[in-house]
Structure 1
Amino acid sequence: MENEIMKMKVDLWEKKGFFIFFFSFLAVIILGIGIGFTGPYHYETREIVDYFDNETVNIELEIVGLNRLNQFLYVDIHFTNELDIGIKEDVEIAITLLGNNVADSDLTKWTKIANSTHTRTVECKAQSNCTRHTIIYEPYLNYKNYFAKLQITNMAEKNCFGKSFSNFFFVHKRMTLYELFFRYIFVMLNIIAMFFLVRSVVGIPYRVFTIEQKWISVLIVLLLLWNNPIWPTIILSHSSFVRFLDALFTSSFFVGIWGFWLCTIDGLRYKKEERSFKKFYLPKIIVLSIIYLTFLILYIWVQVHEIDDPEYEVANDIPGFKVTSVFLWIFFVVYLLWIVYASIRAFHDVKNKNTSNAKRFYFFFTITLTVFIFSIIVVGGNFVSKLRNTAGEFLSTFTIFNVYILLLSIAYLPSSSTLDDIKDSSHLKLEEDDEEDDDNDLIGNDDSLEDSEEKDEENSSSNVDQLEMQERSESPSNSGSDKKSD
């Protein structure tokens, strides 16, 4: 075992305890997914379908009665290819976006938010839908009413497209309140778990923590940040700083949990003294730091363009975005290959060496594999997406990671026997220190007695010498006086 004195609750579980824990874990996640899919639909949508009668299509839409609970306005467009061959054509889209807080039929009194023309390359296979393009993304709803006008021109000589589909999205007000409610439920559970974790480890030196306990103590703080207690300020304020904080909290949590998986799977194969910083931690820090910083750069890049130009499209209007995205995915693939390699090596070492960490490894791997598969399927596909499909997807994502971290924080709590052993060892150590201090005091007292005796002897001898000298000095004078008297 990594440390003889530190035992966690999971170390004392038999198979029955493990199965109870695992099925409780699955039951809570399934319950969260079920509650999520009974929630409100995430978005309200307005779809307009137009035919390309000529080479140009004009689309107009007015959306009224919005407020900050609707969060944002998002418009995309796609076309259909009715030909028997594939198409790759340029389409010119003139965009006009107006806003007003008072309903008024006179558009000249509305505030102009955007007015420009963009060229988009549309690709489609034969007899299928074409690629979808972002037309408008307004991250802050400064107005109650919006009017959008699109003029779409097929720039090819021959009209290739049959229909155009324009979709206007904004978040449902009930969904915003739904998300706010569950975020604060998770925040409350997170704070309670932190309280019990801190209370259980008080008095235990940090150096005797296992690698899992050290990581959980960090992840439970990152989880609180990911749940984001300041999330309402994103809706209520128009500050880009709070949006940056949200991206910082989200990326910190996910990079932290990826580091936890890699370090724990790879670390349970080694003893504590074998996990040096240079060979064990430094390569992992380099790879994860590159992923972390690249994601933050991409997010800030997107945020700046969203604020400056609501008509932007990431892939086309931000130079170098695709290259940076490919760079990010390359390092993420490196991480995936690394964790697969570490898992294979860990299974081999645990099986052949019959290490005492086997129970901890199998427990951790079983629970983590469930979360890992879920995160790849659900979170990986929507991590940088503006749109989440349903309330079920939101709640299942938050449920699985909150339940994962909170239940692991319970499983990795020090056992009661560990607390007693640590108290006994610290008590014995204090007694030994007191005995040593008493011995030192006694030795010091003996030395002082010997020194005082030596000083007394020296003083007495000096007094004797002084008396003898006085007698000698007095004896001649006395003899002289006697002679005179005679």
Structure 2
Amino acid sequence: MAREIEAAVQMKLYTMTKRKLAGVFIIFFLCFSLSVVVGLLGPQVVYTDAHEEELMTNVYGAKMFSITTGMELNSLNQQLWLLATPSARPVENDTSMEGEVTPTLHLFYLDDEGVERPIMYKPGPDHKRVISCSEQCNTLLLFHLGYIDKLSYKVTVQLEGLDRIGLFDSVLFEFKTYKSAFTQLEIWFRAFFLALTFVVTIVYTRSLRIYHWKDWSIEQKWMMWLLPLLLLYNNPLFALAFLLSSAVPPVVDGIFQAFFLSSLLLFWLCIYHSIRQPKRTFCKFYLPKLMLVGLIWLSAIVLATWQAINERTDPGYNYKVDTVNFTGFKVLLLILASLYTLYLLYLLIRDFIELRNVAYFDLRLKFTAVFMMIVFSISLAILVLRFGTGILDENFVSDISTHYGSSAEFLTFYGLLNFYIYTMAFVYSPSKNAMNESRLHDNPVITMLTDSDEDVMYGSADETAYRPLSRNTFMNKFDADSD
């Protein structure tokens, strides 16, 4: 039985010479490098306000510390963290100490007249933190405010149980917040990418408007889906986070980003499978992929919203004190990520085995695979440089280490994904000689039988025109033609 032929509008990818295709990659790297350079020249991300409090008594657990933010804050500072790092006294024959402390926090804000006003919240049942000291003690995250709407804050802290761990000289308290200059850079570049994505979406849509959607290739259909999602990833509602004292804007931003990234994962699975599978039913083709990627998306959304909502009701909440639930979600995400990676590798290996010598099909496969590996390698390199060997440690939403470490980090991630989608939209857009009078079959046999030798730029017509796509593919067709 002959394989069903899939109709598709001819893409620019088919008409590009190797020199033009190399030029596309060069332009991509130039744009990406420019975003990195701008990020390197940008402002620092985090501002630190340090306060060192000495311990002058042996009853350390009963000492109350009072710390006030030393800078004038505004909504552009985005978030506020308070961290504490105890300084232990050297003890002979004892190189390490470890134990639990329970921080008790009281939060106040200073009004325009300098009067302290309490911030009412319901503290959680268990805020224990683990202190571990060897050469130096670890840093404790005491609280995190996800939104700043006051000029100044004051915190009173009592570290219960500190005296039972060992002898300490002092505690270094640090307020950390985003710099206003970085927030302004983030707003401007998100707006820039948002506007640029809107223009690319309009141009790409106009290029396909004269063709029936049934004639679009699978790549062209996916670009029509990913471009609007990229608009959400750049978030047209981002500025609302600085106007509304609510958990809704940051949660919506997280949902938008998770939705786009999950769709990108689904795109890779569908593309590598669809090249060998022109007949795509929902239950057999899309449903298994939707279930796998959907579980990844749902887990990420639950973790993000769970953290944000808990912090709104209790700033002292931290995921590390909710170990059971957090560990369960973390294990689930690792299992799903492993399954996704194995499935993607299986599709890639099978595609290269069956299509490596089929003209045009192998071009689609190689371009998508090489471009995906470039994006994946850059992302992985950034993560390794950012987190080092701690990339799999329990770092998550409220921990500063999971936020941007520099302006270059922010622009690298946003520039990489935006320019990646723009490049694919250009390459997959219709070529100048794309025909609409009759459906152009996206099939190497039909395409190459109608092309001259000069038109076959990638591969030899003699070698590939009669090579089966997979086992027994087109064999009946060839037999019929020979008769």
* Normalised TM-score (structure 2): 0.79
Aligned to 1:243: 250
Instruction: Check 1:367–1:5 CA distance in 2 against 1; reply closer, same or farther (3 A cut).
Output: closer
Aligned to 2:302: 297
Name whichever of 331-340 and 311-320 sits farther off. 311-320
Q: How does 1:256-271 map to 2 (within 5 A)?
A: 256-268=263-275, 270-271=276-277
Q: CA RMSD in A?
A: 2.7
Aligned to 1:417: 433
Instruction: Check 1:17–1:160 CA distance in 2 against 1; reply closer, same or farther (3 A cut).
Output: farther
Q: Look up the equivalent residue of 1:272 and give its one-letter code.
A: P
Deviations, residues 296-328 of structure 1 (Å, cap 9, x unaligned): 122221121111011111121476232122212
Aligned to 2:419: 403
1:97 aligns with 2:107: yes
Asked if structure 1 preserves the Cα contact closer than 8 Å seen for 2:129 and 2:140, the reply is: no
Q: What's the offset of the Cα at 1:27? A: 1.3
Instruction: Check 1:200–1:71 CA distance in 2 against 1; reply closer, same or farther (3 A cut).
Output: same
Correspondence for 1:126 among 107, 130, 134: 134
The structure with the greater share of residues assigned to helix is 1
Q: What's the offset of the Cα at 1:228? A: 0.5
Q: What's the offset of the Cα at 1:95? A: 1.5
Aligned to 2:365: 361
Q: What's the offset of the Cα at 1:344? A: 2.2
Aligned to 2:214: 207
- 1: distance between equivalents of 2:418 and 2:43? 21
Aligned to 2:149: 142
Aligned to 2:408: 392
Query: How many pairs were matched up?
Result: 417
- 1: distance between equivalents of 2:266 and 2:37? 30
Instruction: Check 1:287–1:153 CA distance in 2 against 1; reply closer, same or farther (3 A cut).
Output: same
Q: Look up the equivalent residue of 1:235 and give its one-letter code.
A: F
Q: Look up the equivalent residue of 2:108 and give its one-letter code.
A: L
- 2: distance between equivalents of 1:35 and 1:317? 39
Aligned to 2:14: 11
Name whichever of 299-308 and 118-127 sits farther off. 118-127
**Which blocks of at least 5 consecutive residues in structure 1 are unaligned?**
427-486
Q: What's the offset of the Cα at 1:287? A: 0.5
Deviations, residues 21-65 of structure 1 (Å, cap 9, x unaligned): 111111111110110111111121112344556434654321242
Instruction: Check 1:424–1:93 CA distance in 2 against 1; reply closer, same or farther (3 A cut).
Output: closer
Aligned to 1:111: 118
Asked if structure 2 preserves the Cα contact closer than 8 Å seen for 1:2 and 1:210, the reply is: no
Asked if structure 2 preserves the Cα contact closer than 8 Å seen for 1:5 and 1:422, the reply is: no
Deviations, residues 61-92 of structure 1 (Å, cap 9, x unaligned): 21242111111211223446667544431112
Correspondence for 1:193 among 190, 200, 207: 200
Aligned to 1:170: 177
Aligned to 1:461: none
Correspondence for 2:159 among 152, 165, 168: 152
Secondary structure in 1 aligned to 2:164? Answer: coil
Q: How does 1:327-366 map to 2 (within 5 A)?
A: 327-351=332-356, 354=358, 356-366=360-370
* Normalised TM-score (structure 1): 0.78
Aligned to 1:373: 377
Aligned to 2:27: 24
Q: What's the offset of the Cα at 1:263? A: 1.5
Aligned to 1:60: 66
Name whichever of 42-51 and 257-266 sits farther off. 42-51
- 2: distance between equivalents of 1:402 and 1:198? 17
Deviations, residues 134-188 of structure 1 (Å, cap 9, x unaligned): 2111122232111122222444635165654432111111111111111111011
Instruction: Check 1:5–1:240 CA distance in 2 against 1; reply closer, same or farther (3 A cut).
Output: closer
Asked if structure 2 preserves the Cα contact closer than 8 Å seen for 1:41 and 1:391, the reply is: yes
Instruction: Check 1:156–1:230 CA distance in 2 against 1; reply closer, same or farther (3 A cut).
Output: same
Instruction: Check 1:129–1:264 CA distance in 2 against 1; reply closer, same or farther (3 A cut).
Output: farther
Q: Look up the equivalent residue of 2:367 and give its one-letter code.
A: F
Asked if structure 1 preserves the Cα contact closer than 8 Å seen for 2:11 and 2:427, the reply is: yes
Q: Look up the equivalent residue of 2:25 and give its one-letter code.
A: F
Q: Look up the equivalent residue of 1:216 and give its one-letter code.
A: M
Instruction: Check 1:145–1:120 CA distance in 2 against 1; reply closer, same or farther (3 A cut).
Output: same
Secondary structure in 2 aligned to 1:159? Answer: coil
Higher relative contact order (CA 8 A, sep 6+): 2
Q: What's the offset of the Cα at 1:277? A: 2.8
Asked if structure 2 preserves the Cα contact closer than 8 Å seen for 1:315 and 1:322, the reply is: no
- 2: distance between equivalents of 1:128 and 1:15? 57
Q: What's the offset of the Cα at 1:414? A: 0.8
The structure number with the bigger radius of gyration is: 1
- 2: distance between equivalents of 1:51 and 1:162? 6
Correspondence for 1:41 among 38, 44, 61: 44
Name whichever of 188-197 and 256-265 sits farther off. 256-265
Q: Look up the equivalent residue of 1:370 and give its one-letter code.
A: I
